[in-house]
Structure 1
Amino acid sequence: MKTYQLYIDGEHVDPVEGSWFESVDPYHGEAWARIPRASRADVDQAVAAAKRAMWEGPWATMTASARGKVLRQIGDLVERESKALAEVEVRDNGKLFAEMYGQTRY
């Protein structure tokens, strides 16, 4: 079974309260992934990290053009990984791959 973590402040971390839930593959009816159940403490940490990144990190001093370039690179990354993202979503919610792949590429 695949175990996912939260991504906070540039690191993959376990949930503060150690709470998890299982994602069930609707086709097989079996758990395929263990997902962190984020608590208020996890959200607070993520929001604080986002505020630091926005106001204190390199993003704060970037020009609009430079920010746009970064956002386009993120879009390119999502498109490049769209097949893997679609496979995870199909397994998680049971949608048809062709439909989900089209959505993740879009």
Structure 2
Amino acid sequence: MAEENDENMQAVMGLIINGGNAKSSAFEAIAAAKKGDFDTAAAKLKEADGFLVDAHNSQTKMLTAEASGEHAQVTLLMVHSQDHLMTAITFRDLAGEIVDLYKALAEK
């Protein structure tokens, strides 16, 4: 039981850490685009995507365990981690649009 809780906590922390890193990278992409550095902006968006893949892998572990009958206790931390991930995904999507907008403005 303690091992399951440790694995669950690792997955939860994976969501929080990787979600936060993805959001930070996406924000750095916007900052780079604002300065006209579109190569850095693209690299930061790609970096954000990598963090989101890592977060998704943590989430998949949790979902797989649940589907296998290992029901985790839903805690505020778990709910927070899911919220953190969804916010990061939304922010990444929006950052991509903002980078594209800055790029279009720079080309005019």
TM-score range, shorter chain: under 0.3
More strand by share: 1
Q: Name the TM-score, length of structure 1 as normaliser.
A: 0.26
Q: Name the TM-score, length of structure 2 as normaliser.
A: 0.26
* Larger relative contact order, structure 1 or 2 (CA cutoff 8 Å, min sep 6): 2
More helix by share: 2
